[in-house]
Amino acid sequence: MLLIEVTLPRFLPKGVGGAIFAGARVLWWIDSPVGGEVIMKSGHLREIKEIEIARLNLRYAYTRIDRPKESLALAASIERVGQIVPVIVSGTLVLLDGYLRVKALIHCGRDTVRAEIWDCTEEEALVEILARAHGRKWDLLEEAALVRELHDHHQLSQGRIATMVGRTQGWVSGRLALYNALSEDLMDLIRKGSISTWAATRVIVPIARAIPEHGKLLSENLSKVSLSTREMARFLCHYQKANRRQRENMVHEPALFLKSLCAKEEAREAKTLKEGPEGTWLRDLRVITHMLLRLLKEVPMLFSSCQSNLDRRVLLTAFEESKKCFTELEHEIGRYDDHQREPAGDHVPARAGSPHPADQHDTESIPEHRQAGDQGGVAGHSATAVFLSRDLGSRP
């Protein structure tokens, strides 16, 4: 089929839900009243007429995925304005495209369907339908099923299929690999709409390859609940890190696991909100303390006499940078310490009842105020840092 340059679309009146594209030689009709199937007339058209639904051969029903919501929406549209777009059938009344519309018509209680009868082979029809996939929303499994039909039943090579549908051979190979990776039971669940193709290929199949029993249990239990793509991704992430017992519980109750996971996260967020910045500060300090204690244990090995001067200098340089940050933190804490009540450097008046300076203690004689340097910090806040400074500063 040749697609010649087309003009800008001229939309039909409101409510019809379609657009006409006029080409130099061919007239194309595109229609998608509820975001469902997109059909275009081609040179294969022989005639359009009403056909009894009971006479249709639904041979390719296995290549379609059941979409109850879209089917109901399309049925409502048919009730309002009737069937706008005909389905496509072969000369032997094999339904090639329009399975969603047929289901919607049955839901409306209709016995007949308006159909285009194509005068071509099924192979040519399937190729043309796949070539139009750019204009409609296809599921990966639907594409894979049609590609497999052309490859296995009609004996077309991957390269030939790619050329005919306007795709790369990698695209064709990927669709075939996807179809072959899914078990028949899993494909049935996908066709029924119980499990999405993404969940099947990205979550269930990898688990089934590693532990087939877990893959089977997970697919059965997922068909009973509705989980989003994000939830399935989180499930796989936690499954990869879980032990054997936890994995068994997860595949038996995937929805319950995700619910408990959300409850734990909400409790953690509530605790963080309750503790405020003080709680976060304390947790960070505990982490730093554990790291300093670990570094302290490694000092004898890293700064032994057999250590090269170059390696020692690299370690000491990194230590001095960290020490500088810790000293700045100590200085900042000293400025706002509860014992001072005011920023460092301000005059602190003598206590009531001791008006004479002679009655005041000399601050230099108080051990608490005998800090090395002029940082004005609080004793005890940097005991580990001071110890490391003395131990490392005395070494060459």
Contact yes or no for 26/43 (Cβ under 8 A): yes
Instruction: Answer with the one of 151, 179, 207 that is the final residue of a domain.
Output: 179
Give the helix ranges, DSSP H, for 303-382: 309-335
Confidence of residue 338 (pLDDT cuts 50, 70, 90): low
Cα 92 to its chain centre, rounded Å, is: 44
Confidence of residue 339 (pLDDT cuts 50, 70, 90): low
- Mark whether 123 and 175 lie in a shared domain: no
pLDDT value for 135: 60
Give the integer Cα–Cα distance in Å for 244 and 228: 25
- DSSP-derived secondary structure for 156-219: --HHHHHHHHT--HHHHHHHHHHHHHS-HHHHHHHHTTSS-HHHIIIIIHHHHHH-HHHHHHHH
pLDDT value for 193: 86
Residue 256 lies in a domain: no
User: Which residues 6+ apart lie within 8 Å of 60 measured at CB?
Assistant: 94, 95, 96, 99, 146, 149
- Mark whether 300 and 382 lie in a shared domain: yes
- Mark whether 128 and 37 lie in a shared domain: yes
pLDDT value for 354: 46
pLDDT value for 27: 33
Confidence of residue 234 (pLDDT cuts 50, 70, 90): very high
Confidence of residue 4 (pLDDT cuts 50, 70, 90): very low
Residue 280 lies in a domain: yes
- Mark whether 14 and 126 lie in a shared domain: yes
Residue 360 lies in a domain: no
Q: Give 87-132 pLDDT, tens digit per residue.
A: 999 989 999 999 999 999 999 999 999 999 998 888 999 998 888 7
Instruction: Answer with the one of 154, 179, 204 that is the final residue of a domain.
Output: 179
- Mark whether 94 and 161 lie in a shared domain: no
Residue 115 lies in a domain: yes
Count CB neighbours of 212 within 10 A: 11
- Mark whether 152 and 66 lie in a shared domain: no
pLDDT value for 56: 95
- Mark whether 106 and 153 lie in a shared domain: no
Confidence of residue 267 (pLDDT cuts 50, 70, 90): very high
- Mark whether 107 and 8 lie in a shared domain: yes
- Mark whether 113 and 143 lie in a shared domain: no
Average pLDDT over residues 210-237: 91
User: Which residues 6+ apart lie within 8 Å of 242 measured at CB?
Assistant: 250
Greater confidence, 14 or 112? 112
Average pLDDT over residues 350-375: 45
Confidence of residue 292 (pLDDT cuts 50, 70, 90): very high
pLDDT value for 337: 75
Instruction: Answer with the one of 114, 133, 152 that is the final residue of a domain.
Output: 133
pLDDT value for 371: 43
**Residue range of the domain that includes 51:** 1-133
Q: Answer yes or no: is pLDDT of 171 > 50.
A: yes
Q: Give 49-102 pLDDT, tens digit per residue.
A: 999 999 999 999 999 998 888 999 999 999 999 999 999 999 899 999 999 999
- Mark whether 57 and 160 lie in a shared domain: no
Q: Answer yes or no: is pLDDT of 25 > 60.
A: no
pLDDT value for 396: 44
> What is the overall mean pLDDT for the chain?
78
- Mark whether 301 and 381 lie in a shared domain: yes
Average pLDDT over residues 237-261: 94
Q: Answer yes or no: is pLDDT of 133 > 60.
A: yes
Residue 217 lies in a domain: no
Residue 349 lies in a domain: no
Residue 143 lies in a domain: yes
Contact yes or no for 64/95 (Cβ under 8 A): no
Confidence of residue 15 (pLDDT cuts 50, 70, 90): very low
At residue 47's C-alpha, the angle toward residues 44 and 51, to 5°, is 120
pTM of the model: 0.56
Average pLDDT over residues 212-219: 92
- Mark whether 172 and 48 lie in a shared domain: no
Give the integer Cα–Cα distance in Å for 16 and 390: 85
pLDDT value for 43: 57
**What's the structural domain count of the chain?**
3
Residue 123 lies in a domain: yes
Greater confidence, 382 or 192? 192
State percent of the chain over pLDDT 70. 73
